[in-house]
Amino acid sequence: MGNFFRKIRLNTIIPIIGLILLFSILTFINPNFLSAYNIGALLDGAITIFIAGIGMTFVLLIGSIDLSVGAMISLNTILFILLVNRFGVLGYPLTILSGYIMGYLNGVLFTKFKIPSFITTFGMSGVYKSIALIVSGARPIGFDTSKMNLILYLTDSIGPFKVLHIVGFVLMVVCMVILKYTAFGRYVYATGSSEQATLYSGINTQQIKRLSFVISGISVALASIGLVAIKMSAAPSMGEPYQMNIIAATVVGGTAMTGGVGGVGLTYLGAFILSILSNGLNMFGVNVYLQQIFTGILTVVAISLTLDRTKIKLVK
């Protein structure tokens, strides 16, 4: 029991303290940090990572990992623009459908053929990258001017926030509720804590795992739409830098790579921490190329704090 509560506490408290510390230090050094403009920028930086991080949270909670999110973002951003250009507003559901299909493919390969998820998704990321290059003609693409209005409303302002930020927040609340109050959510935790015992309780753990990957696919599709709304364009390798940041946000938030511990709310914090970090580093004029070093170190530290080493051989 002690172990359980210790893990929970560390997981929730450290990210919150980290966030407050970062905020205070940066505000102290530069009072402009808390300006409405900068808060908006912070949220812009966090939103793609966070929305895709929702799916990553589900995947890490069952004790797996999704290494295809970066490639899926690349492909979905391109698909979204192409689909909106051709089908108008139908591009939204079609992009979500494509995310669903990609997640389902990952999930089926993982559960049916019993290939560890890091290999399945790593392999599939190559497939998605290639498709992204092919459908885009290896060029950046943008919206037809006539379709612009279908996307611009996402960045309309409501107070200091954009519509997009609020959508992200609502998604977070919905997923928190799913994880905490529905049978599926509880099964996600159960599977991640002990797949064997969950299976022995007569629960279809394969289905739970597959669904978690589907959620990852869908959330990546939504994140891609958000990213396009901010950038108003897409390029075939646009998602790549997000791969590490999404995993980083999830584990920095406190979701354990060994499964069973963590949550979507924590990932929100994690995404924020990463966004503030990079924003703050920019403020100090730290070279962009150096910034990944900080993210990388932070990720390793977070993983080492949350990892349940008794389960280490189960990491897949």
Partner 1 sequence: MPKLLKMEGIDKSFGSTHALKVVDFEVDRNEIVGLVGENGAGKSTLMKILAGVYKADLGRIFLEGKEISINNLVEASTYGIGMIFQEQSVLKNIPVYENLFISHENMFTTYGVISKKKMINTAKRVLQEIGLDISPTTNTFNLNYSQRQLVEIARNIWLSEVSEIENPLIILDEPTTVLEQAEIDFIFAKLKQLKERLSIVYISHNLSEVVALCDRTYILRDGEVVSCLGKSDTSVENIRDRMVGQGSFNDNEYYLTDLQRIPEQEVVLEVENLHKYMEFEDISFKLYKGEILSLCGTVGSGKEALCESLCGLRQSDGGKILINGKRAVIKNPYDAYKYGIGYTPEDRRNAGLIQDLPIYENMTLPILTNLRKALLFIDRVTQKELCTNAVKTLNIRLQSLQAACSSLSGGNQQKVIIAKWVLSKVRILIMSHPTRGVDVKAKQQIYEVMRDLVNKGISIILMGDSFEEDIGMANRIITMKNRRITGELEATQSKPAFSDVLEKIV
Q: Which residues bind partner 1 (CB under 8 A)?
A: 1, 3-4, 177, 181-184, 186-187, 189-190, 193-194, 196-204, 260-261
Q: In the complex with partner 1, which residue's Cβ is closer, 187 or 268?
A: 187
Q: Give min distance, CB of 300 to partner 1, in A.
A: 24
Dihedral in degrees, nearest 10, Cα atoms 15, 17, 22, 25: -170
First to last CA, the chain: 26
Question: Which amino acid would we find at residue 43?
Answer: L
Q: In the complex with partner 1, which residue's Cβ is closer, 189 or 242?
A: 189
Within 13 Å of residue 42, how many CA atoms lie on the same side as its CB?
27
Dist. CA 295–CA 274, nearest whole Å: 7
Dist. CA 125–CA 109, nearest whole Å: 13
Q: Give min distance, CB of 196 to partner 1, in A.
A: 5
Q: Give min distance, CB of 73 to partner 1, in A.
A: 29
Q: In the complex with partner 1, which residue's Cβ is closer, 194 or 237?
A: 194
Which residues have a Cβ under 8 Å from the Cβ of 39 and sit 6 or more positions away? 160
Q: What angle do CA 258, 275, 5 make, to 5 degrees?
A: 35
Q: Give min distance, CB of 309 to partner 1, in A.
A: 14
Q: Give min distance, CB of 313 to partner 1, in A.
A: 13
Q: Which residue is associated with the tokens 């007569």?
A: 202
Q: In the complex with partner 1, which residue's Cβ is closer, 185 or 265?
A: 185
Q: In the complex with partner 1, which residue's Cβ is closer, 192 or 253?
A: 192
Q: What does the block give as tokens for 290?
A: 């150096």
Q: Give min distance, CB of 195 to partner 1, in A.
A: 9
Q: In the complex with partner 1, which residue's Cβ is closer, 187 or 213?
A: 187
Q: In the complex with partner 1, which residue's Cβ is closer, 3 or 287?
A: 3
The torsion angles phi and psi of 201, rounded to 5 degrees, stand at -85, 10
Dist. CA 90–CA 189, nearest whole Å: 35
Q: Give min distance, CB of 53 to partner 1, in A.
A: 23
72: nearest Cα among 240, 209, 230: 240
